[in-house]
Amino acid sequence: MAKRRRKPRNARKRRPSSARATWIFVLVLLVLGGGMLMKDHIQAVVQPQPTAHQVTVKPVSGETPAQQAFIQKVATPAVKVYRKNGQVLPSIVIAQSILESSWGTSKIFQQANNPFGIKGSYHGKTGSFVTHEYVNGERIKIHANFRIYPNLTVAIQDHDNVLKSRYLPQPAKNYQEASQKLQAGGYATDPDYAQKLNSLIVSYKLNQFDK
């Protein structure tokens, strides 16, 4: 009588071992794939995205992050107001803000949201600040009352109204014309006011916002 051959003990375990390895490989792929998707999602959430109304600022060589941030801060409402009323070119608005507020570091800007150094009161809101003016060609320090605004957009809108009523009754064709009219009209006592505005506009390519 023939004897039955016994199967090797590990013969039955080979297929389950192969299947188990396949499942482990699939699980590893799922974990890695899920991790990559989660990473992309986190980056998309964390990375700041420009708002719908925020303008794009093209970086300029030699421009500091603080300067770029200030230009962005003023450019967004300046472009918005200009598109609405077509009165004052954004390049002029930004250049005046830079010059008058020393890149947003002046107390008038920080405490009164007044980047243009407009004197007087706004809806009864006014504050006394130290400023510099030119008298007979000499730069002197004085105290004066300046308008206090609730925010930067309101300040730009009021600035447009002031320029339209006193200095630019008709919109200027370009920033050179606007700066010359501002100086000729006595907006500032600085004899080089128009030249300084034009220099800022050229150096930081502010006319990109006029298009």
* CA pseudo-torsion sign 206, 196, 170, 80: positive
pLDDT at 200: 98
pLDDT along the chain (211 residues), means of 10: 54 55 61 51 44 72 92 97 96 98 96 96 96 86 95 98 95 96 93 97 96 87
For the chain, list the domains and their CATH numbers. 65-105+150-210 (1.10.530.10)
Distance between CA atoms of 190 and 194, rounded to whole angstroms?
A: 9
Are the CB atoms for 163 and 88 separated by under 8 Å?
A: yes
Distance between CA atoms of 99 and 53, rounded to whole angstroms?
A: 25
40 is catalytic: no
From the candidates 40, 63, 100, 158, which is the catalytic residue?
158
From the candidates 133, 177, 190, 210, which is the catalytic residue?
133
177 is catalytic: no
Q: From residue 17, give the alpha-carbon distance in Å to each of 7, 27, 130.
A: 17, 15, 84
